[in-house]
Structure 1
Amino acid sequence: MELILTVMADDRPGIAERLAREIEQQQGNWLESRMATMAGKFAGIVRIELPDGHFEATQQALLGLASEGLAIQIERGHNATTPATEHRLEVVGNDRPGIVREVTNALANLAVNVIDLQTEIEPASMSGGTLFRAKIEFTLNESQSMTGVVKALEALSPDLMVDI
């Protein structure tokens, strides 16, 4: 059985280790994760695999970490049923309020399934402003095209560049 854990806590050393120790004690296998610190908070998402019959004890143990300041949500994972291919692209443009909504709206309108979205702003060396950068991993089914995705994103703004 696979579980997806979301973890939030005030940032401090040892959070990932404490979580890993508890998963190992429950005979779980840590399969993959994404973790970050933002504005003094630790945020993580972890996919683990458990032997059959270990869900209740693992759930109780992980939720018990709340006494140590870890807020954990647990969901059962499942496999995708629609065949799809994975793609990656990067979008760069002048930062402005609403740009994330514009990009995600364009993808949603095409029924693109986003599986990883990383965004950041950085200084624009030439203009003195800020640049928006998004790294997007997504899947397309056989009726969708990468060309359509790129055209939709480039149509958002003349300064928006899409790199596959």
Structure 2
Amino acid sequence: MPVEMVLTIISKDRPGLVQTLAQVIADHSGNWIDSSMARLGGEFAGILRVDVSERTVASFEKSLAALAEHGIAVTVRHDSVAPRSHGQRVHLNLTGADHPGIVREVSSALARHRVSIDELHTEVRPRSMTGEPLFTAEAIVILPTGLTINELRTELERIGNDVMVDLVLTESDNAKAD
């Protein structure tokens, strides 16, 4: 019977990191289910869901721990199937001059309204004309039953004015979460 695990990985970025991890998974007849990985600064970080046979769990975890000798830190969590969020899926785009507190303010408003963040990607890059730091965020959020996209938009636009960012909410392609 397969055992699902969630792995977090962090290492100095270098070629071959994903291949090394994929090889350990393959060596234990594991299955790479899904992942999100990125180079952040000089580090490579990721989160990955795999499944391995119940009989190979111990040796798999031992092999993952041995990656520390190569500078690859792996944390393992056995996946306890959490209930999926139900509600309307909404795409959130945010753009503005970079400054501290943007994520804190927006995530606080989402939490107050019991909105679940399904995916979040942020980046600071230079503006094309001025070179000034531009903060962007893209998220897929799930609105709880009873909260409309317009109610959330009103709240986020108020916050957007306070922290001087532009916020756009649109219905996601998959309008309802499971």
Compute the TM-score of the two structures, normalised by the length of structure 2: 0.82
Q: How does 1:14-163 map to 2 (within 5 A)?
A: 14-81=16-83, 83-85=85-87, 86-125=89-128, 129-158=132-161, 159-163=164-168
Q: How many residue pairs are counted as aligned between the two chains?
A: 164
Distance in 2 separating the partners of 1:26 and 1:153:
47
Q: Structure 2: state its 5+ residue gaps.
A: 171-178
CA shift for structure 1 position 127: 6.4
User: Is the Cα–Cα contact under 8 Å of residues 82 and 141 in structure 1 kept in the other structure?
Assistant: no
CA shift at 1:15, angstroms?
0.4
Does the aligned pair in 1 maintain the 2:125–2:133 contact within 8 Å?
Answer: yes
Render the CA deviation track for 1:62-110: whole Å, top value 9, x for unaligned: 1111111110000112333255143322112232221111111111111
State the secondary structure of the residue aligned to 2:53: coil
Identity, in percent, stands at: 34
Counterpart CA distance in 1 for 2:84 and 2:7 is: 24
CA RMSD of aligned residues (A): 1.9
Q: Higher strand share goes to which structure?
A: 2
Query: CA–CA distance in 2 between the matches of 1:27 and 1:96?
Result: 46
CA distance 1:140–1:77, shift in 2 (3 Å): farther
**Aligned counterparts of 2:55 and 2:148: Cα–Cα separation in 1:** 42
Give me the whole-angstrom Cα distance separating, in 2, the residues matched to 1:20 and 1:134. 29
Between stretches 36-45 and 139-148, larger displacement belongs to 139-148
Q: Distance in 2 between matches of 1:114 and 1:152?
A: 16
